[in-house]
Chain A
Amino acid sequence: MKQNYTVQAWLVLILAICYGGALAGMQMKLAPIIAENKINETRQKVPELVLGAENAATKLDIKPETISIDKGNKKISYTVFKAGKDGQTAGWVVKNADQGYAGKIELLIGLNPQTDTITGLFILEQTETPGLGNKIIDWEWRKQFINKKTDKPLVVVKTGAKEPHEIDGITGATISSRSVCNIINTATNDLKGPLGGKQDSTGK
């Protein structure tokens, strides 16, 4: 009575099929809820990012768009949320992500309709060091980005920002601070043209 491995493993195979089925069923039920959680989080943040924290409860028409940009040899796609109020463009929220110190940092950047000023910043996802790098999520740090102009790239400095395009780095987390600035700089630099142009042609 010689048994090959497949016969011996019948229990493993049956269990694998049962577990797989159970997981598939659960995924079918929960996936829409999880996807909705993520979109809700972004949508909830849009008014605050465009109009400021004091107007966070304002209702805006939010239209997601995808904008592709040719950058020499590669194509980059941005997810952009157009926030409209009374038929006019109230501002833009741009999603952009890149490598931070410990992992991916994903940001939502609020821009005014002309895309020349930053109106808000929210950290959607980060895995920076607790107590140091993860201070990028603190409002105290994020608020210095508000009303920064996008004509010049933002620069992180260690000893008190003086120039309008300078940002105070977080002590002990220069790389995290710099990553956030770089992500913003890339996004504003890439999208200033396309979004500003859209504003002129489709705006008021």
Chain B
Amino acid sequence: MILRGRWAANRIQQGNKMAEEPTPFERFVQGIVPENPVYRQLLGLCPVLAVTGDMKSAMTMAGAVLFVLFCANVIVSLIRNILKPHLRIVVFTLTIATFVTIVDRFLAAYMYNMSKALGPYIPLIIVNCIIICRCEVCGSKQNVFAAGADAIGQSLGFALALASIAAVREILGTGMFFGVRVLTENWPDWVIMALPPGAFFTFGLLLGAFNWVDSIRSKKDGTG
């Protein structure tokens, strides 16, 4: 009873706040750069470090996350009014796990080689914090359109982050981009870039650059 009472109080508060909550378009834009899940929120770093050795697997991962995040966010948003607060994490996990399993089986059936290359990282999307975070922040509070737009925006931001790291690592590590040679044959492949340390180097430097650009910008705006 106590829990139900609190939940009701929460909902009334939310009702008052609803007007201030971001619109679907704002949610969409925020996900891409201003609240980028990787560079801003530092969430979901496991795939960021693990599957950015080449562009193809990075983009497959981004696609898988887009599908799972979109479906999970929309479903959570649809059932948000009948969702009990103390059971919400169970429901989030259940929903996410279902869609991840669908992606995993789909890849094994229709993109067999890619599924072999990504190995355990597809099932690991279940524990990707970006998704459970978006369900909590947006899906369980806003309507379907905001949730859908939020999912797409955040996934695009995630894809952008993966692409930026994978491009650097694949080009320097193998001289290729999407499996096509872009540097000359003489390029001495920097194997370290394809190895796990390369992921840390690249991510650290890019994150630094991201923050540096941001600090210059905010100084210019006079807000920093």
Contacts and interface: CB of A to CB of B under 8 A. Distances in A.
B191 interface: yes
A147 interface: no
Interface stretch (A5-13, A64-72, A92-100, A196-204): A5-13
B108 interface: yes
Interface string A9-49: 10110011001001100110010011001000100000000
A131 B194 contact: yes
Given A11-B79, A11-B82, A34 B108 contact: yes
A23 B104 CA distance: 11
Contact of B109 (A34, A125, A132): A34
B94 A131 contact: no
A144 interface: no
B199 to A, nearest CB: 10
B109 A33 contact: yes
Contacts of B94: 12, 15-16, 19
B160 interface: no
A23 B1 CA distance: 35
B17 interface: no
B10 interface: no
A144 B37 CA distance: 47
A3 to B, nearest CB: 9
A8 B106 contact: no
B108 A37 contact: yes
B53 A37 contact: no
Contacts of A22: 98, 102
B183 to A, nearest CB: 18
Contacts of B212: none
A131 B166 CA distance: 16
Interface of A: 1, 8-9, 11-12, 15-16, 19, 22-23, 26-27, 30, 33-34, 37, 41, 125, 127, 129-132
State the 10 A-B residue pairs at the shortest beta-carbon distance, nearest first.
A19-B98, A33-B109, A37-B112, A30-B109, A131-B195, A34-B108, A30-B105, A34-B109, A131-B191, A131-B194
Interface of B: 1, 53, 79, 82-84, 87, 90-91, 94-95, 98, 101-102, 105-106, 108-110, 112, 116, 119, 191, 194-196
